[in-house]
Amino acid sequence: MNKNTSKILSLILAVLTAAAIFVSCANDAGDGATSEDTTGTEIISAPALFPEIRVKTESGSPIVVREYYPVTVTLEGSDGGKYDFKDLPAQMKCRGNSTFHMPKKPYRIKFDEKINLLGQGGGPSKSWVLLANHTDKSLLRDHVTFAMGKKLDGIGFTSSSSFVQFYMNGVYFGVYELVEHHGEGKYRIVMNEDPEEPDTDYLIELDEYVNINGGDIPYYFNVRERAFSIKSDVMTMAKWRFIRDYFKNVDEAIAEGDEETVSELIDLPSFVDMYLLHEIAMNSDVGSSSFFFLKKAGGKLYCTCPWDFDIAYGNDEAVYGGDWKGIFAGNPDFTGGIRGYDTPRSNDWFSWLMKREWFVDLVTERWGEVKDTLEETALASIDEALGSWEDEMNKNFDKWKVLNRRIVAETDETLGFETWRENAEYLREWIVNRFDWLDGYFSDPATKYGTVG
């Protein structure tokens, strides 16, 4: 099938999906019934603790494709009305890779003018994201990760996040996580791209979906069997060759493992911090996608912008059956894959680095510095939700009846949970056990070099 035929079929499918959703919503609006496979139904008395984001599309139909459409956005119910606004013009589209194909879809909103939604982050920006968290029945895994990421100064930028009730065209879509988009901006990832100079700033994503989405990603390259996409609107062949060759040099240096050579090419503190964050979470995407790097002009390669942790923290049966014990992100012997995917989930670079005593020593030292702060931060995020947010979270699952269904990779244990609270308490207990296990591992010389070889 050629590209043009594929695009035409995709457009036809999107139109048919939109039509089906629109009819379903119209039929449901009168009786308030909920459905697990449509965009939602009108809910008049949703809990008011979370602010509400209300979007109206120009056509009156829901957005179900990855193309921008004109909308107006209203925000109500912020703290004392401080951040409320009405009918601001914007563009909105569906986003995500695997999550795009789920019934509760994630979205990206691009305002005509810069705005600081709910006072998040350092300042205003045009681009914001609404995460659906449909595979995470606690709805908290990304939120917890962002909170910990902000405590790790080696990483650089980490998105802020807040929870909102989201409506489109008067229809309730559920609880969404409003976050800063992981892109270039004065208050986000600061980049200075020179269109002529090859050694300039680059934002790069480890991105297995390059090989799935094909022409949707204009600039990419491969190193060994891993695909990397270039997040740039300005690319020349000289620039493409430069950044590809730089990544190949990093790959070879890390594989060889000489500390001096590696440290000349990458920023070790950022790699240590990002490794710890992914190791704590046992994040299935660490070796395949949603993993971002920033290459600075004339400088080194940094890890930045932790993203997409919905199948982390014991939410993937392919990672030790959901157990909290074991080294995953830096385990050279882990070759398993998530249900339905062929790509091994561990990270080559972390696995190779953790074979070297000098890197393990850096990780162990950093662990001792940050472990208490990170655990306290993670648990505080969950405790706030357990203490105050139960009604709002339950309303999401009144709509999306998925608590006992495997959407992607959920463990058998979590499929037995009947409530949101059980899922949130499971996440809390898992994190406590994970920190205890890692502390024992890194504190004992007999175990902390277990990956070295």
Nearest to 72, CA basis, from 182, 167, 214 = 167
Please report the pLDDT score of residue 212 as a whole number.
62
| CB 221, CB 231: distance < 8 Å | no
Please give the helix or strand (H or E) that residue 287 lies within, else none: none
pTM of the model: 0.87
DSSP secondary-structure letter at 409?
Answer: S
Going from the C-alpha of 390 to that of each of 32, 44, 134, 137, 419, the distances in angstroms are 21, 18, 17, 13, 10
| CB 171, CB 41: distance < 8 Å | yes
Q: Where are the domains of the chain?
A: 3-132+155-180, 193-453
Please report the pLDDT score of residue 217 as a whole number.
62
Please report the pLDDT score of residue 335 as a whole number.
59
Please give the helix or strand (H or E) that residue 33 lies within, else none: none
User: Could you give the CA distance from residue 38 to residue 400 in angstroms, rounded to a whole number?
Assistant: 9
Please report the pLDDT score of residue 213 as a whole number.
55
Please report the pLDDT score of residue 96 as a whole number.
74
Please give the chain's pLDDT, 453 residues, in tens. Answer: 433 433 333 443 343 334 333 333 333 333 322 333 333 333 334 456 899 999 999 989 998 888 999 999 999 999 889 999 999 999 999 987 777 778 899 999 999 999 999 999 888 999 999 999 999 999 999 999 999 999 999 998 999 999 999 999 999 999 999 999 987 777 888 888 888 899 999 999 998 877 665 445 678 899 988 889 998 777 899 999 999 999 999 999 999 999 999 999 999 999 999 999 999 999 988 988 899 999 999 999 999 999 999 999 999 988 888 999 999 999 877 755 555 445 556 789 999 999 999 999 999 999 999 999 999 999 999 999 999 999 999 999 999 999 989 988 899 999 999 999 999 999 999 999 999 999 999 999 999 999 998
| CB 319, CB 345: distance < 8 Å | yes
**Token code pair at residue 277:** 């964050």
Three-state secondary structure call for residue 81: helix
